[in-house]
Structure formats: structure tokens, C-alpha cells
Amino acid sequence: MNDAEIVDHIDKLVAEEHQLEREHGEQGLSEEQRQRLQQIEVQLDQCWDLLRQRRALRDYGEDPREAEVRPPDVVEHYQQ
């Protein structure tokens, strides 16, 4: 996956997240929707982390393809 594909995936996840949040404001979320929202948040953290890894590798003359998606328990503890 290249940077543009990662950004595109981020955009799609954000759109879905916003849709769920709009639904939440109107009528509340079902348990399934709450779980999906949580999954989206984790996936967003993973995508942003992957993009940052790729950029850092590129900045230091390394191959950005060496970047790997880190597990949820790792990226979830990052501070924004």
C-alpha cells in the first residue's frame, strides 16, 4: 500500500466515522454500531501510524515499504 492509498483509506474511515457520529447524535448507536465505531478508531490509529512510519523511513533514505501495520494494543496507547 502506498501513501496515497493509505490516505484514501483514512478518508473513507473518517467519512464512515462521521456518519456513525451523526446517527449517534440523532438516535443513539446500536451495540453493533458502537463496536464498528471502535474498530474504525483503531484502524485510523493504525493507518496514521503506518503513514508516519513510511514518511520517517523515506526521510532517512530507507525503503518506506519496510513499514508495517502495528497491532492495536501498540497504537492505541499513543498520545495524540
pTM here is 0.88
Inter-CA distances, 21 with 14, 41, 46, Å: 10, 12, 20
Helix, strand, coil percent content, the chain, rounded in steps of 5:
75, 0, 25
Alpha helix ranges (H) inside the chain: 3-27, 31-59, 72-75
Q: What is the pLDDT of residue 28?
A: 80
- pLDDT for position 59: 97
pLDDT along the chain (80 residues), means of 10: 96 95 79 92 96 97 96 78
Cβ atoms of 57 and 63 closer than 8 Å: yes
